[in-house]
Amino acid sequence: MSRTVRAYAITAEAVAREKDRVGGDVDKMDVANVIALDKLELRDMGPKDVHVRMLAVSGEHNVDHAALADTINIADARGGRIYPGNSALGEVIDVGERVDKFKAGDIVVTHCNGDPDQFGFPLRIWAYDQPESIGWYAEEAVVGDWQLIRAPLDSGLTLWEMAALPLRAPTAYHMWRRALGIYRLKVPREKQAVLNVLGFGGGVSELFLMLAKDEGHNAFFCSGSPDRRAALDKLGIVGIDQKKYNRFATKDDVNAFRKEVRDLTNGGDAHIVCDMLRGPVFPAGLAVAARQGVNTSAGWQLSQVVEYNSTVMSVKQVTLDHTHYETIEGCHAATELYGRVFKPTVHKEIYPFEDLGRCFEEMHQNIQTGIPIIRITDDLPDSVKGII
């Protein structure tokens, strides 16, 4: 029997209307005017489906990209409307007859690998470019059992901290294991045990640095946010104020940043850099790369196109790595590290469901103190009441 729930949608018409309102200036767009509460009819349950009641979700940057249509106009490309949200935590309320991994009452997290290729990596992302995929910024959802992972309720994390991780932790996990693997192909452990690892602001970079720190490396977090630097400082991750270098507006700023990194690393520079932003951050990341270094990114928030001097990078033997999202097995492995390694910083306000649009506008303005969480319901099950 089908069921209608409240769910957020982004329509091509809302994107166009907001763009018109600001005369085409994407910087002036208000994301809260684009993402709107809608009604969604859930599909009938199939034998391998799970019916989930959403408890909390995290705000993800792909929604910002969808609302601004700054990468591609994804709502338009998908027929005029998408239901976004690909990072969620919920309670199982029913399972199909062939589901044996989950039962009613289980607390689960999602992954967003929408269409694994022959090696398991996503060709498309769920609730973004995977056709027909329906996202989870909704009261309830019907989800294939392959898209769910049991939430580790004994991880020591709060419900909100766990809700911060389903998308960002697998991304960071994939980037870290790849970047380290590439570096180790060039410089084995016997020649150098401890690496200098640097990440630029953002939730994925923070988690990437937690992996590096946990494995005994030196970790440096270059961010414009004092709150986020302070949170990482508590884990022994050294903060560098990005605003001190005017967000790398000029070559002099990049040179001054390069000098600070050289001093902090005792002349060693950064063996692994997590970028995620591109734009002016990209040349700054390359400037601090050590010989044999690796620069990895799964994001292009500040620009999609980069330029670099191939000769200089060849002579330094620097590798640029482009990643997207984890395999499904990798998502399971990343979930094992909740609380042990991943201790995310969560924005100080937990947003009510009705204020999801405001959450995204505040994310867009870059004024949040950590990963933003939206609470979908006040009616939490007893199993999580002790971890809120």
Ligand X SMILES: NC(=O)c1ccc[n+]([C@@H]2O[C@H](COP(=O)([O-])OP(=O)(O)OC[C@H]3O[C@@H](n4cnc5c(N)ncnc54)[C@H](OP(=O)(O)O)[C@@H]3O)[C@@H](O)[C@H]2O)c1
**Residues binding ligand X (CB under 6 A):** 61-62, 65, 167-168, 171, 201-205, 223-225, 228, 242, 247, 276-277, 281, 298-299, 301-302, 324-325, 363, 366, 371
Interatomic CA distance for residues 170 and 148, integer angstroms: 13
The residue whose two tokens read 């191939």 is 310
| Shortest Å, Cβ 180 to ligand X | 18
State the first-to-last Cα distance of the chain, in angstroms, to the nearest integer.
33
The residue (of 52 and 164) whose beta carbon lies closer to ligand X is 164
| Shortest Å, Cβ 348 to ligand X | 15
* β-sheet bridge partners, residue 42: 3
Name which of 178, 378, 151, 145 is nearest 298 in CA terms. Answer: 178
The residue (of 90 and 201) whose beta carbon lies closer to ligand X is 201
**How many H helices and E strands in the chain?**
13, 16
| Shortest Å, Cβ 287 to ligand X | 15
| Shortest Å, Cβ 280 to ligand X | 7
The residue (of 5 and 328) whose beta carbon lies closer to ligand X is 328
Q: What is the DSSP letter of 161?
A: H
The residue (of 10 and 42) whose beta carbon lies closer to ligand X is 10
Name which of 29, 15, 368 is nearest 201 in CA terms. Answer: 368
* β-sheet bridge partners, residue 113: 125
| Shortest Å, Cβ 55 to ligand X | 21
Q: Exposed (0-12), middle (13-18) or buried (19+): which is 310, by Cβ within 10 Å?
A: exposed
The residue (of 334 and 387) whose beta carbon lies closer to ligand X is 334
| Shortest Å, Cβ 276 to ligand X | 4
Decide if 316 contacts 293 (C-beta within 8 A).
Answer: yes
The residue (of 69 and 281) whose beta carbon lies closer to ligand X is 281
Q: Phi and psi for 346 in degrees, rounded to 5? A: -110, 140
The residue (of 121 and 153) whose beta carbon lies closer to ligand X is 121
Residues 6+ apart with CB under 8 A from 24: none
Q: What is the DSSP letter of 298?
A: S
The residue (of 119 and 154) whose beta carbon lies closer to ligand X is 119
| Shortest Å, Cβ 175 to ligand X | 9
| Shortest Å, Cβ 323 to ligand X | 7
Name which of 8, 21, 11, 35 is nearest 361 in CA terms. Answer: 35
Q: Exposed (0-12), middle (13-18) or buried (19+): which is 365, by Cβ within 10 Å?
A: exposed
The strand ranges marked E within the chain are 3-11, 35-42, 49-58, 81-82, 88-95, 107-110, 140-144, 148-150, 196-200, 218-223, 238-241, 270-274, 289-297, 319-322, 346-352, 371-375
| Shortest Å, Cβ 325 to ligand X | 4
The residue (of 48 and 324) whose beta carbon lies closer to ligand X is 324
| Shortest Å, Cβ 248 to ligand X | 8
The residue (of 135 and 202) whose beta carbon lies closer to ligand X is 202
